[in-house]
Structure 1
Amino acid sequence: MAAAHPGRETSHELPLAFAGAVMSKNIVKVIEVLAESPKSWEDAAAKAVAAAQKSLRDVKSIYIKDFSAEVAEGKIVNYRITAKLSFKLE
């Protein structure tokens, strides 16, 4: 059988970099959510996590992708975030 790469034999074994490595059986899913708060961006993030916890189990992290705000009469009236939440699949 011809080698897939010249000078290297083909093998179905894991590369040496993976030899002895423990592979995790945990799978994490990432979703994107929108949240808002009249108080702050931090409060909007806390609301996003609290809302997600109602229907998801084991939320692991939040990554804030984008910040925005609603302005009325020259003042911020709503702080908005677009965030990515990760949670463990069962």
Structure 2
Amino acid sequence: MSLPSVELLESRHTFPGPYTFKVIGSAEANFTGRVIAHVRDELRMELDPPYSLRSTKKGDHVSITIEPECESPQQVIAIYSRLTGMDGLFMLL
């Protein structure tokens, strides 16, 4: 996956502000918890950012929409970098 550039992020979003990440992965091995933990760690948050979940009918995959407050495009890129290497990741938008 290629990461978005700072210029692209700045042209499409206002910083600081919320940024929406869509993460799809395996429903096993605490995938959701690991995604939330990566975002919290990167942004040094004490509480979980707003997020919602959707599971497939079989329950073997989960889609996580997470909307943390990001101060800069560099933070968005750093979160993408952390998430791209996760075990169980199928898609990141």
Please indicate, yes or no, whether the TM-score normalized by the shorter chain is above 0.5.
no
- The interval holding the TM-score normalised by the smaller chain is 0.3 to 0.5
- The structure where helix makes up a greater share of residues is 2
- The structure where strand makes up a greater share of residues is 1
The two structures have a TM-score, normalised by structure 2, of: 0.39
The structure that has the greater radius of gyration is 1
The two structures have a TM-score, normalised by structure 1, of: 0.40
